[in-house]
Amino acid sequence: MIKPFLIFVCGFDPVILQQDHIADLTFKKFAFGFMLVIVLSFFSTFIVFINTIENLLGSIILAAFFSLLIVNLYRLIIVTSSPNNLKLKKENFRDMIGHYIVKAILLLMIFFIISEPLETFVFKNNISAYLNDYKEELVDNFEDQLKSISIENIEKLTYENELTIKFRKKNNLKIDSMSQKLLDEKIIFILQEDQKQIFDLEQKITKANFFFKQISIANSKIPQSYLFSILILLIILFPVYLIMYDENFKNYFIFEEDSNNYIIQNNWEKYSVKQEKLFFETTGKKILRQNLYQDPPFNKIKSLDKTKYLKKGSLIKWFNKEY
């Protein structure tokens, strides 16, 4: 169970895993940590989608897809965290610092994607009280705004009705009692509409889960969420820590590097022999190689040969410069 997971999911070499000096316990710890990140990724993304699109099947499909993206990104961080690849040297200092910064940003991104939705699930009961207060506040604010608008409209209607009555009195016209009745009906209609709008809003707000507000409440109102976040961060960092600092993984990567170097060197030598043979058969001449490096094909150590090899056109450029 563990080794197939390490081979097919994590990308470890099956031959090296069989070596005696590779401790099974360390790799079991790593596999458990990685599996836990996969499970948390799926559950976290599922929480996001079940609270936003509110469809079970759609949430499962989308959670599977996005958790796969997260896990692949996490896997990329893991496989590029070999101690052999992260050696800080004077000549690669700037590149490695950039590498560390990018890796830290990606890990933090994964951490927030996993941690924040899980907090809304773990601290659901604590969040509910604050969320209910927030919902009541929304309704109260809407009611106050609506009341203010309605009062303004009623005052306007009343004022217009009073002007009409004054005008009729001034001009000795009969005052129509229906105007007051009509005014009362308009006022009643406004108040009834207000109540209907408030009721409709209450229904919508009660049903709404305000998922992103839940995240905000968890971060600002629930102190325990910080401890939970630290736990999630440690879970995410645990496999990365093992890869970078555990002696068994160091042995694994040393063996892997030696194995890969042997394969590359062997293929390079076969290629060189075949190339020289074909070149001689075609031209009757031997290949003169430029020994710019002591360790072809890796080309990491520069050759001590002081001979300068001119490129095509170099002689003409030198002649034009000197004469």
Average pLDDT, integer, range 199-210: 94
Residue-level pLDDT at 314: 65
Is residue 302 scored above 90 in pLDDT? no
pTM of the model: 0.77
Burial of 14 (0-12, 13-18, 19+ CB in 10 A): exposed
Cβ of 316: how many Cβ atoms within 10 Å?
A: 9
Residue-range domain boundaries for the chain:
2-125+213-247, 128-210
Selection from 87-96, 200-209, 314-323 with the highest mean pLDDT:
200-209
Confidence of residue 85 (pLDDT cuts 50, 70, 90): low
Q: Give dist(CA 110, CA 233) in Å, integer.
A: 9
